[in-house]
Amino acid sequence: MTYDADLVAEIVKRVVAECGDDAAGDTVPVGVSNRHIHLSKEHLEILFGKGYELTPIKDLSQPGQFACKEQLTIIGPSLRAIEGVRVLGPVRSSSQVEISRTDSFVLKIKPPVRESGDIKGSAPITIIGPKGTVTLNEGCIIANRHIHMSLEEGKAFGLNDGDTVTVEANGERRTTFYDVQVRVNKAFRLEMHIDTDDANAAGIGNGAMVKIIR
């Protein structure tokens, strides 16, 4: 079964609109994030060559974000590599690698749990590409659990940017997620992002519906 993020988001919006405040703050669709890399323009050219541009292959749930054809290898102090790590676009001002806790055991690094983009003092990691290598002195994190919402969705849910909520997942292994960050922005679309470790622990996947506990 193919997961259509646009369709799920539209259904949720309609439910909230039709049911009013009783539905707000209830269910949210899930997007599972596998390990991935965000690159700066400088590092993109080091890894792939001068003037290289990313090749989009699939739009992601958040507007303007896309998965790329390009994949890279990451290496930590253990010198054990994880290959085939997908690059996500568009390019950013700073490069960043997002992995799971399980990945960190393989790489022998200790990345902090952070909001995407908050890389100051985070773990070092080396990225290997077809044309070159980049070593980040900081830039490897485990992304915190978070929920994207548009301004309208935030208002409907009664939540503001930076709030934290508790979320219940009734998958194969019922799980409660605490301290889930709410991120509200006009460019966002309703979706909770968790990594593969959290998804596997709860027995849920892309398109699963979870519930914000009031």
Write out the two tokens for 191: 């979706």
Print the domain residue range for 109: 33-142
* CA separation for the pair 62, 54 (Å, rounded): 18
Q: CB under 8 Å to 10, separation ≥6 — which residues?
A: none
**55 and 131 belong to one structural domain:** yes
**166 and 138 belong to one structural domain:** no
* Total residues belonging to the chain: 214
**159 and 66 belong to one structural domain:** no
**Mean pLDDT for all residues in the chain:** 91
The closest of 213, 214, 200 to 171, measured between CA atoms, is 200
pLDDT in tens, 52-69: 999 999 999 999 999 999
Task: Give the CATH number for residue 167.
Answer: 2.40.40.20
* CA separation for the pair 145, 182 (Å, rounded): 9
pLDDT in tens, 20-47: 444 444 899 999 999 999 999 999 999 9
| Single pTM value for the model | 0.85
- Give how many domains the chain has, as a whole number: 2
CB 165 within 8 A of CB 178: no
